[in-house]
C-alpha cells in the first residue's frame, strides 16, 4: 500500500528576509501540501515555533503583523539598522545614517549585545507563547551555536521560548543565552538551513527554505567592521549552500535586495514565499507525495536541476 513520506520544512535564517517563511507556509496550505514537522534556525525558528504551536498560516501572519505594529517593536528601532539607499537619501538623512552607525558600532564594541536581555525577552514574549516543545501540535526542533565548544546544539524539548531565543541571538545584536555552561547564539552561524536536524527529527523528505541563497552585492567597504561583515556574509552564504545541498528540494523566495533588518516590507516578503511555492508546485507535489519508479529513473538520467533558481537534490 502506498504511504507518502513524512515531510519536514527546514526554515533557514535571514532576519527580515525570513518573513518569506510565512508565505511558504501559506502556499503549502493553499495547495494542500502536507507539513509533518518543522526545523528552524534564527528567523526560521520564530516562524517555525509559532506555526508548530498553532498550524494556521493566516493566524501566524496576523500575529506577526500585530507584533511589528506594536510599541515594543517600534522602541527597538530595529529598522534603523537597515541602510538607506544613497540615491534616495538626502544629505541630512545621510548624516543621520552615519551618526546612527557610529552610535551602533560604539555600543556593540563596548557591550555584550546591542539589545539588553529585558528588551529581548519582552519582544519574544509577543511572538512565542510560554510553552514547551511538548505543547507543539507539530514536531519541531531548533538549533543554536555554543560559543564554548563550537558545537551545534539542537533543541527538541524543554522551554520553547528559551530555545528560540538562543537560536535568534544574533552575535553582538541580541544577548546570548547561558545554558548549563554553554553560551548559545544564533544557529545560523553553524547551520544556516537546518536540513540535518530535520532528518534527525524523523523526516523522510526535507524541503529547505533558503532566503539568503544569493550573495548580496558588495557595497562600500569603508571601515574594518564593514570588511569583517562582508567576509562573514560570504562564509555564511557558502555554509548555507553546503547545508541545503542535502535537502530533497530547496525553495528560494526572492528578496529583491531587501536589507536583512528591513521589516517594513512585510507583505512583499510574505508574497515572495507564496510565489516560491507556486513556481515550484509540480516539483513539490512530486517530492512530497512520492515519486514513481519511472520518475526516479527519469530524474537519474536527466540530472537534478530545476528552473527558477530552485534546486532539487537527491540525498545520499
Which one is catalytic: 42, 113, 165, 244?
42
Query: Is the Cβ–Cβ distance between 273 and 20 less than 8 Å?
Result: yes
Cell of 44: 526560521
Buried b (16+ CB within 10 A) or exposed e, 40-52: bbbbbbbbbbbbb
Three-class secondary structure of residue 78 per DSSP: helix
Q: Which residue has the cell 534564527?
A: 42
Q: Are strands 37-40 and 140-146 parallel, antiparallel or unpaired?
A: parallel
Query: Is the Cβ–Cβ distance between 15 and 194 less than 8 Å?
Result: no
Please say if 42 is a catalytic residue: yes
Please say if 216 is a catalytic residue: no
Which one is catalytic: 36, 113, 167, 186?
186
- As a whole number of angstroms, the distance between CA 286 and CA 112 comes to 47
Query: Is the Cβ–Cβ distance between 171 and 186 less than 8 Å?
Result: yes
Query: Is the Cβ–Cβ distance between 189 and 145 less than 8 Å?
Result: yes
Sequence-distant (6+) residues with CB within 8 A of 298 are none
Residues with a known catalytic role: 42, 186
Amino acid at each position: 500500500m502506498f504511504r507518502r513520506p513524512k515531510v519536514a520544512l527546514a526554515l533557514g535564517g535571514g532576519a527580515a528576509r525570513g518573513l518569506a517563511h510565512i508565505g511558504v507556509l501559506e502556499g503549502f496550505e493553499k495547495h494542500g501540501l502536507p507539513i509533518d514537522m518543522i526545523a528552524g534556525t534564527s528567523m526560521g525558528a520564530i516562524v517555525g515555533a509559532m506555526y508548530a504551536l498553532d498550524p494556521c498560516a493566516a493566524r501566524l501572519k496576523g500575529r506577526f503583523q500585530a507584533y511589528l505594529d506594536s510599541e515594543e517593536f517600534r522602541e527597538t528601532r530595529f529598522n534603523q539598522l537597515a541602510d538607506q539607499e544613497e540615491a534616495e537619501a538626502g544629505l541630512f538623512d545621510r548624516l543621520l545614517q552615519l551618526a546612527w552607525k557610529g552610535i551602533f558600532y560604539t555600543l556593540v564594541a563596548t557591550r555584550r549585545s546591542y539589545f539588553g536581555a529585558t528588551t529581548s525577552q519582552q519582544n519574544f514574549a509577543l511572538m512565542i507563547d510560554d510553552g514547551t516543545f511538548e505543547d507543539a501540535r507539530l514536531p519541531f526542533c531548533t538549533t543554536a551555536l555554543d560559543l564554548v565548544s563550537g558545537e551545534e546544539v539542537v533543541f527538541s524539548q524543554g522551554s520553547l521560548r528559551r530555545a528560540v531565543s538562543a537560536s535568534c541571538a544574533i552575535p553582538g545584536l541580541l544577548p546570548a543565552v547561558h545554558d548549563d555552561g554553554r553560551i548559545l547564539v544564533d544557529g545560523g552561524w553553524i547551520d544556516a538551513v537546518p536540513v540535518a536536524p530535520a532528518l534527525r527529527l524523523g523526516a523522510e523528505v526535507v524541503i529547505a527554505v533558503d532566503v539568503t541563497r544569493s550573495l548580496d552585492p558588495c557595497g562600500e567597504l569603508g571601515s574594518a567592521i564593514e570588511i569583517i561583515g562582508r567576509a562573514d556574509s560570504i562564509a555564511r552564504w557558502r555554509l548555507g549552500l553546503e547545508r541545503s545541498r542535502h535537502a530533497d528540494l530547496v525553495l528560494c523566495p526572492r528578496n529583491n535586495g531587501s536589507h536583512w533588518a528591513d521589516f517594513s516590507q512585510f507583505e512583499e516578503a510574505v508574497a515572495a514565499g507564496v510565489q516560491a511555492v507556486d513556481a515550484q508546485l509540480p516539483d513539490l507535489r512530486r517530492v512530497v507525495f512520492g515519486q514513481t519508479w519511472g520518475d526516479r529513473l527519469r530524474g537519474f538520467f536527466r540530472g537534478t536541476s530545476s528552473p527558477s533558481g530552485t534546486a532539487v537534490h537527491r540525498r545520499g
